[in-house]
Amino acid sequence: MPENVCQIAVAQLEYGKARRVFEAGAGEGLICLSAPAQEEELARFIVEHRIQHAVVGVERYAGPLYDALPRGGVLARFGVGHDGIDKERATSRGILCTNTPGVLDDSVAELTVGLMLAAARHLPDVSAATGAGTWGPRVGSELRDKTLAVIGCGAIGRRVARIAARGLGMHVVGCEVVPVDKERLRIEYGFAEIRDQFADAVADADYVTLHIPSTADTRHYVNHARLALMKPCSWLINTARGALVCEADLYDALSAGRITGAALDVFEHEPYQPIMPDKDLRQLPRVIMSPHIGSSTQEACDRMASRALTNIRMAEAGEFATMDLLNPAVLNRKEHDPT
């Protein structure tokens, strides 16, 4: 292989989402190969093809992948959330981990608002009924003047707020536990107010949307106790991470009518499997489900692919300060240097 060429394993699903961008990488010496996403198969593929770097999706990687990649290699997440990557293990092996912050914010925000609109106008139900030959108009509700609680006022939460407030005329209440510039959020994004307690943010909310990271501390953030704080007429929207919601508690709340509905793009197990056989969210009438498509627009996929390859180019050039590094401690290890 020529000295200025490196090979990159790209998980098959992600490769298909942005094939044009990955194929174009060859013009700059980045040969991207479609590879299996399952960890053991991916690890074998990397070893057999002498791969230097890998681009992966949402799958959880806990073992052989870190032994297969060479020291100084990049494990590039095609997306933002990186709970599936073991940063400590990667650091111990001298592997640089990156993600693609900022490139999918608009896509996820648009889907979030789309799910609210679908809920307000019963779109899944009336579409299925009309397709089956039943002409049964249903009365929905407008989003104007409804209250939206945005849990997490980061980049995606702010975009959701701006669309909801400025585009739909909703009253938007933010919930953020870290200090923020409340006046800036009001002026630039349309937040009416910012609260630091979930209970205060959702007290009057018709819709509650989650935009916080998935960590050990936020696992099952929405549980029986927090669901009990929401209004009976409210909807829960989750386009962030499945682990944020205790699905068994959500099933119970929906079944008992303690909240009206849920629109979910992410789940604890993907593809979706009920946490308990008798608590299958698919069996409930006011649950809208989509298969983790928040970032799946062509525009966002192309941006994620480009950003992942840029991180790899920077690593190859030794320009580590410009990378979206998730484990900067790796730079303190001599092993990160491929030379």
Residues with a known catalytic role:
241, 270, 292
Sign of the alpha-carbon dihedral angle for 278, 292, 146, 195: positive
Q: b/e string for 85-115 if b means 16 or more Cβ within 10 A? A: bbbebbbebbbbbbbbeebbbbbbbbbbbbb
Contact 35, 10 (CB under 8 A): yes
- For residue 77, the tally of other CB atoms under 10 A from its CB is 28
H or E segment and range at residue 114: helix 105-120
Eight-class DSSP state of 85:
B
Eight-class DSSP state of 165:
I
Contact 221, 242 (CB under 8 A): no
Contact 168, 197 (CB under 8 A): no
Residue 271, preceding bond cis, omega within 30 degrees? yes
- DSSP codes of every residue in 241-264: -GGGB-HHHHHHHHHTTSS-EEEE
